[in-house]
Structure 1
């Protein structure tokens, strides 16, 4: 069985900081210097735009947006939202996206929330009720990049975040749907810390791997040492 290092980076992590760490880990994983690794965190509030983001989907009030090298469109990250960045060797990209979605499906089920996939849309969704005028509601989004057979970016799962952050944008470029969270769907506050153990378990199951904890300091040291050996 393969191994998956789980690294908890904490809360209020600046996007650029996590992105830089992803790139360093990706470089080492691509040459076999590290095992498969997954970073778990909550970002400081930030809007990020993938390669397919259209101009009309961006904020119209001058709110800053970070353009990134993942697929997908514009989204928000911030407090109350669990972000997972698996940096893993893969084969088929489509299969990998379904693996991430299945992990989110199982996490939501652990909290009694039934979500599904929607044809033509990535991520996981709470089905709407057309008769009652309720749209499908996005609970988790996927946006990835694959280079040299190794992934970057990953998924974001709404736990207890403020939904008003999404009002300035067209989330994921989908204007006819809503956004929800585990807290909103269950009627009780479900914070990221409560979700983390379930996420670690479900990610390991989805990848068919044995998960183990790795401290951020040890990851940085491993990346640095590997770089020196290769350099």
Structure 2
């Protein structure tokens, strides 16, 4: 099966969350019916809070900011300018691959952070995503939240690049109150935007994801606006 890449928009062409969600849902239908190849969407969202199925009332914005409730796992998070978001819509060769798939997303982001920016990151037992653990409060630099229906994945990962951390102060990010968030830019001391990171992340995805599809052919990345 093929694996395609689509770049829906990076700053200044920010992507509305509802529009991207509609594209994900249509792709899910098409991939499930073998009418479209498994496809990775890469983008940068307009500011939005999204709440997964496990979100508790106390996790939500303190100031009453509206939240989009979605059908992914996990709890509440924020997306917006300066954050690279990836939505792999994959038809897994086996439903039992889900745990390994999540681990692979984490590990490929860890590799990009180490190789491209000298950032040492890791996973934390019992907590999804990618973390910096260096003796103080743990800091989350990438979040992962998925839905798998009939062996086809939706949603994916969000890597903090140059985004503000202020929106996270208005919620309990991912339902975790005893840790902080961080960005690539904060860790290296210079602005690293999603556009600076996307090629390295896409290359890792292209190398890693085909094994979950049973031998995929890679389709070159498509640039441009929503379509």
Q: TM-score normalised to the size of structure 1?
A: 0.89
RMSD over aligned Cα atoms: 1.4
Which structure 2 residue ranges, 5 or more long, are not aligned?
211-215
- 1:213 shift after superposition: 1.5
2-structure distance, mates of 1:45, 1:161 = 10
- 1:6 shift after superposition: 1.0
2-structure distance, mates of 1:211, 1:166 = 35
Residue 213 of structure 2 corresponds to residue 214 of structure 1: no
Task: Give the ranges of 4+ consecutive aligned residues of structure 1 lying more than 4 Å apart after TM superposition.
Answer: none
Tell me if the contact between 1:201 and 1:211 (Cα under 8 Å) persists in the aligned partners. Answer: no
Show the counterpart of 1:166.
168
2-structure distance, mates of 1:198, 1:216 = 18
SS state at 1:37 partner:
strand
Residue 128 of structure 2 corresponds to residue 122 of structure 1: yes
* Larger displacement relative to structure 2 (2-11 or 160-169): 2-11
Higher fraction of helix = 1
SS state at 1:19 partner:
helix
**Cα deviations by residue, 1:93-145 (Å, 9 ceiling, x for unpaired):** 1111111111211121222111100000000001131xxxx201000000000
* Larger displacement relative to structure 2 (18-27 or 85-94): 85-94
2-structure distance, mates of 1:111, 1:39 = 23
Q: How does 1:78-157 map to 2 (within 5 A)?
A: 78-90=80-92, 91=94, 92-109=97-114, 110-129=116-135, 134-157=136-159
**Cα deviations by residue, 1:163-188 (Å, 9 ceiling, x for unpaired):** 01101000000000010011011111
The alpha-carbon distance between structure 1 residues 198 and 211, as it changes in their structure 2 partners (threshold 3 A), is: farther
Q: TM-score normalised to the size of structure 2?
A: 0.90
Q: How many residues align?
A: 214
Which structure 1 residue ranges, 5 or more long, are not aligned?
221-231
1-structure distance, mates of 2:60, 2:166 = 15
Show the counterpart of 1:36.
38
* Larger displacement relative to structure 2 (88-97 or 36-45): 88-97
- Which has the greater radius of gyration? 1
